[in-house]
Amino acid sequence: MEDFLLLAGQKFNSRLLTGSGKYRDESIIKEIIETANCDIVTVALRRVDFNKKDESVISYIPKNKQIMPNTSGARTAEEAVKIARISREIGYGNWVKIEVIKDAKYLLPDNLETLKATEILVKEGFAVFPYMQPDLAMGRRMAQAGAAAVMPLGAPIGSNKGLLTKEIIRIMIEELDVPIIVDAGIGKPSHACEAMEMGAAAVLLNTAIAASDNPVLMAKAFKNAVEAGRQGFLAGFAGVTTASASSPLTGFLD
């Protein structure tokens, strides 16, 4: 059975998106991406430090991967739009993950500013991926505005707490016609597997791999978990019952 992820008119085999942040040594990123077998990688935009002659993170990302710049650092829609425009000008396509955060403690995104940025950037021809607090009405508005997918968080960024917002994400998957990518909070392969079992189109994670003791092995674990969860979802789960014997219930010698 052919199963691919369709985002902004492109087909992808992998449903695991990874971030390129928080690596102590960025040269490991290539191996992580290859081991995770992911097709889409997020990056951030920052001012160049002229005193450091370090490489652009792009040099560690295989050329055939889709780059998804984020708008981290933006506190308003206006700032996010500015970051998106500069990112596009660098020349790695028109994708952008909208991330607008004012909340310094929990790093929760501002859905209204995110919607505003989505509306503006869709009109400018971007493929827009809004990262948001799970909310059906806002998710619907983002979809109506033309978002390529909607990316609700499972738990605060980098918290590794898993799918704390599970029921709302489930409802969004059920009710919205755009792909739902669970982004943030996923700390263990089982969390990613669970999101995929629920029918999420994909998951996006960074810290869980980058901050593990063995990032390459963790990348492999997440690859397997995402594939297992997707296959389980596609197979269709057996219904929950009180009890149902797996073997015949007649007596052994009957």
Partner 1 sequence: MSFIINGTQTEFKLGLTVGGLLREKEIDPQIVGVGLNGEVLSRNLFDETPIRDGDNIDVFKFVGGG
Nearest distance in Å: CB 80, partner 1? 14
Taking the least distance from each CB to partner 1, the nearer of 73 and 232 is 73
Residue 71 CB, nearest approach to partner 1 (Å): 10
Distances 142 to 23, 137, 148 between C-alpha atoms, Å: 31, 9, 9
SS (H, E, C) 171-226: HHHHHCCCCEEEECCCCCHHHHHHHHHCCCCEEEECHHHHCCCCHHHHHHHHHHHH
H or E segment and range at residue 87: helix 77-90
The Cα–Cα gap between 82 and 117 comes to 10
Task: Give the H or E element holding residue 19.
Answer: strand 16-19
Query: In whole angstroms, how close is the CB of 237 to partner 1 at the nearest point?
Result: 31
Our CB check for partner 1 shows the closer of 18 and 233 to be: 18
Tokens of 191: 């969390």
Residue 100 beta carbon to partner 1: minimum distance, rounded to whole angstroms: 14
Residue type at position 223: K
Rounded CA separation 146/1 (Å)? 29
For the annotated catalytic residues, the residue numbers are: 97
Choose between 180 and 209: whose C-beta lies nearer to partner 1: 209
16 contacts 37 by C-beta, under 8 angstroms: yes
DSSP state, 48? -
> Smallest distance from the beta carbon of 240 to partner 1, in angstroms?
35
Q: Which residues bind partner 1 (CB under 8 A)?
A: 19-23, 26, 29, 42-48, 50, 53, 56-58, 67, 69-70, 72, 82, 85-87, 89-92, 157-158, 184, 204-207
- Closest to partner 1 by CB, 72 vs 141, is 72
Give the HSE-up count for residue 104: Cα atoms under 13 Å, Cβ half-sphere.
0
Q: Which CB, 35 or 87, lies closer to partner 1?
A: 87
Distance from the Cα of residue 5 to its chain's centroid: 12
